[in-house]
A and B are shown apart, each in its own frame.
Chain A
Amino acid sequence: MKFLCVECDRQMQFEERQLPGDGTLAAAFRCPTCGRVVALLTNPMETQLVASLGVKIGGTTLPPQPMETVRGMVTTGRDDAFEDGKGETGKGNSPLPAWSREAQERLARVPNFVRGMVKKIYLDYAKDRGIAEITPAVMDTARTELGLEGM
């Protein structure tokens, strides 16, 4: 999938991705010559098909998590299917970011089947950016930046 600015005859570049939360996706692409921005809007079916391939429009900076598609998409998984064989997060030795009460409540609403993976992603995100406390706002930003569809 590529976008061409016909007027400038230039390949448009990915700019931003947004997840409205209703199963759809919006991705903006900008022409490097004229600056025109167009938005790709996918319906839930199209969004799901892309997610099913395990790829993300706009790419991702996240290293792949073990079985991230299975853990993120299966709805009938056992709550206790996975356990960590190591510490909370494998990155560095700096202290773990704290979780605000609201962020903890939000994390608690994530099904157990995928919660461990989601928690690690947010922790790594916060640690990488020197964020001391994970709040719902941090989680929202991470979701958008990292393309955590449905997390």
Chain B
Amino acid sequence: MSLNIRTYRDLTEPDRSGLVNQIAAQRRRVADRLATVRRVVAVLSGKGGVGKSFVTAGLACALARSGRATGVLDADFNGPTAPQLLHLPVSRCTLHEDGIKPLVSAEGVRCFSMALLLEDGRPLAFRGPETEGHVWRETLEAAALREFLADVAWGALDELLVDLPPGVQRFQELTELLPVPPAGLAVTIPTRESRDAVRRALRAAIDRRATPLGVVENMVGGPFAGSAADELAAEFGLPVLARIPWHPTPDIWDALATRIGAASPERA
């Protein structure tokens, strides 16, 4: 004889654990922290080695030079490079009542990165069972992303650039954590292979209701042949925001910053 058992949604009494409420509280902390951030821009490609971090740093410095309050959240926890690219020395992170102070570059870019926390030369490693780490590791990295968003005292920002690792998983985690979908800035190199990888990333971004701002083509004029940016722009109806040569001059970044700034929502 089978039991007539009520199911999960039938049980509505409050319980002390309130796991769902705990998750909701985490989301509120992210939303509260980002209430003073006008726009989150996810710098994505879906492909490693195209220069997302390089573009993020160059763009962040140019935005700051143009007077825009800019932050960089280095979401590449396993290969963090943002502090180096922003010429920030690794130093102690200061804890305050309202969170952890980000480091600030000479240009005024606020930055937080796993590179600030890890021992020199050591990989990111977590406490936990030694076997089957894949079951929980990505969950912990998503928790780290949540804490980078919620616990760093970003302050008022015009743009918070999120430098994503290759692939689309961190982007998906980001969109789940944010109260509204981010803007997306796609970075590619000219090759067909890069185009194909970035296409997937852009599609994933659109599927997640992100707003693509445009395409940046990096490493132009070097050994990589192709027209990935033009092809992606045509396919998705996006502008090519910049073509970054091997040795970009500040005016290249400034022009990109102007275009990104022009696409920003109006100040309240």
> Interface residues, chain A, CB within 8 Å of chain B?
1-2, 4, 6, 9, 11, 13-14, 23, 44-45, 48-49, 52-60, 64, 66-70, 72-86, 90, 113, 116, 150
Contacts and interface: CB of A to CB of B under 8 A. Distances in A.
Interface residues of B, number: 51
Contacts of A14: 15-17
| Chain A to chain B: the 10 pairs with minimum beta-carbon distance, closest first | A52-B139, A76-B122, A85-B94, A14-B16, A55-B22, A66-B151, A44-B129, A69-B143, A11-B11, A83-B92
Interface of B: 3, 5-6, 8, 11, 13, 15-19, 22-23, 25-26, 29, 90, 92-97, 99-101, 116-120, 122-129, 131-132, 135-136, 139-140, 143-144, 146-148, 151
B117 A45 contact: no
Contacts of A72: 127
A75 B6 CA distance: 42
A66 B135 contact: no
A110 to B, nearest CB: 12
Contacts of B140: 52, 69, 73
Given A49-B139, A69-B140, A76-B122, A59 B22 contact: yes
Contacts of B26: 54
A150 B119 CA distance: 21
A117 to B, nearest CB: 8
Given A70-B144, A78-B118, A86-B96, A9 B6 contact: yes
Given A2-B11, A84-B95, A48 B125 contact: no
A48 B118 contact: no
A108 B213 CA distance: 50
Interface centre among A44, A54, A59, A73 (most CB of B within 10 A): A54
A44 B133 CA distance: 11
A74 B15 contact: no
Contacts of A52: 128, 136, 139-140, 143
A4 B5 contact: yes
A74 B127 CA distance: 6
